[in-house]
Amino acid sequence: MGGIPDALSTIRELPAILGDRESLADILDSIRRMAIGFAIALAFSVPLGLFMGRSRTVAAMVNPLLMITYPVPKAALMPIIMLWFGVGDASKLLVIVLGVSLPVIYHAYQGARAVEEKMLWSARAMGMSGPARLARIVLPASLPEILVGCRTGIVLALITMITSEMIARQTGAGNILFNALDMAQYETVYAMILVISALGIVLDMLFEYVRGLLTGWAEPRHDLLAPSL
């Protein structure tokens, strides 16, 4: 199988990949890792970003660390992470978490900073505690901005997942892709690229649907505007 395959050969390879139990299990394993890594990243990135947006002290402490880690390609950290955590799921999940966290932190931070102060002053005047203001005012008001970061995070989760699986080769879609490339099975390589692309498109569509449910109130309702005469 030498050379670049044509489109028909690539499409013919798709049923072979999706019909193979081992390959399908690898793809599902990748989705599992991606989902777990994304959830872990959200669990600490959203609160951290909100705290940074509402506290100059927290922002001053965390910003230097983010400035150091942001420019570093997360795949470049994989060999070091593998030395610490091995080639199992832990190292792959950590790379995914690092990739997802930074955009989510940034957008949560920007969303928290944009909250109108008069809303917080009113809540404080009514005796609402700091944690309650964060949960009941800052978080809902920041949600549209946070979801912008989450959408970027999904893309980065997919990229870091595939990259980590290609480096720490055990299971996953990245492992299938690298093995096929190693054995010059270019039909499989291009077919896997199509599978990964389709996965990214489906995830983005699902996310946009969920985002519409969560923040439909923030969308402009042009249908309610009367035409100007």
- The superfamily in CATH containing domain 7-218 is MetI-like (1.10.3720.10)
Q: Which two tokens stand for residue 70?
A: 């942001």
- Give residue 171's pLDDT band: very low, low, confident or very high (50, 70, 90): confident
CA pair distance 1, 180, nearest whole angstrom: 11
- 186 and 4 in contact (C-beta within 8 Å)? yes
Q: Which two tokens stand for residue 177?
A: 């892709």
Predicted local distance difference test score (pLDDT) of residue 221: 45
Q: How many CB atoms lie within 10 A of CB 218?
A: 14
Lowest mean pLDDT among 30-34, 72-76, 197-201: 72-76
Q: What is the pLDDT of residues 54-102, one digit of tens each?
A: 889 999 999 998 888 888 888 788 888 888 888 788 888 999 999 999 9
- Total-model pTM: 0.85
Beta carbons within 8 Å of 31's beta carbon, 6+ residues apart: 199
Q: Which residue has the higher pLDDT, 182 or 42?
A: 42
